Chain A
Amino acid sequence: GAGVSQTPSNKVTEKGKYVELRCDPISGHTALYWYRQSLGQGPEFLIYFQGTGAADDSGLPNDRFFAVRPEGSVSTLKIQRTERGDSAVYLCASSPTGGYQETQYFGPGTRLLVL
């Protein structure tokens, strides 16, 4: 079946602009995660959804970052007033039920560049 997909694959924006990044998880997966990966680093957790609700948003760096998953499938990560430091690869992952030991399946990421 189809894996996790993310759009756009690349996004270039100017400092101060608003961006939306989309994630389509594997069909039927109730758990969805957003991570951010800076160059030369491992992915860093941002937020975890169980169904439609954000079960853990402790990784969101500040209130410019927000994410939704209104119907329990597709999720959108929203960044307001972008800053150059937001430039990174934003990865989405999903797992069947969010169990502690489940494998997470990652999408290819959205490469965000803030000029």
Chain B
Amino acid sequence: GQSLEQPSEVTAVEGAIVQINCTYQTSGFYGLSWYQQHDGGAPTFLSYNALDGLEETGRFSSFLSRSDSYGYLLLQELQMKDSASYFCALNDYKLSFGAGTTVTVRA
């Protein structure tokens, strides 16, 4: 089976940088995805790592190290609208999600 661990909550101020770590155990996967979900909303895709290293998409970056079974999502220049839950997920045609990290951005 698959299991993923990520912190339950992170709080930061506007303009700050937040890193959400994700460690996983799996027998095999194709890549690590990150999704954002606002309260009551649909999960929306943020970033994907098929290979080790850093992927940058605007203010968001994601990193994967397969040898360490570890990844992270980096949120830069935090804005109030970034307050949401963030999920890491292992890709294997279906997604296996972590429990999510609630990010709260304070003014």
Q: Min CB distance, B88 to chain A, in Å?
A: 9
Compute how far the CA of A109 lies from the CA of B39 in the bound complex, rounded to whole angstroms.
12
A42-B99, A42-B100, A103-B48 known; A98+B93 contact, CB < 8 A = yes
Q: Are B99 and A41 in contact (CB under 8 A)?
A: yes
Compute how far the CA of A33 lies from the CA of B35 in the bound complex, rounded to whole angstroms.
16
Contact with B along A29-46 (1 / 0, CB 8 A): 001010100001111110
| A99 proximal to B (CB < 8 A) | yes
Q: Are B97 and A43 in contact (CB under 8 A)?
A: yes
Q: Min CB distance, A55 to chain B, in Å?
A: 8
Q: What total of chain B residues lie within 8 Å of the partner, measured CB to CB?
A: 25
Chain A to chain B contacts (Cβ below 8 Å), 28 pairs: A3-B42, A35-B95, A42-B4, A42-B98, A43-B43, A43-B87, A44-B97, A45-B94, A48-B93, A56-B93, A56-B94, A59-B94, A99-B93, A100-B31, A100-B91, A100-B93, A101-B30, A101-B31, A101-B50, A101-B91, A103-B33, A104-B45, A104-B95, A105-B45, A106-B35, A107-B42, A108-B40, A108-B42
- Given known contacts A40-B99, A48-B93, A100-B31, what 4 new A-B pairs fall within 8 Å (CB)? A33-B94, A45-B96, A59-B94, A106-B43
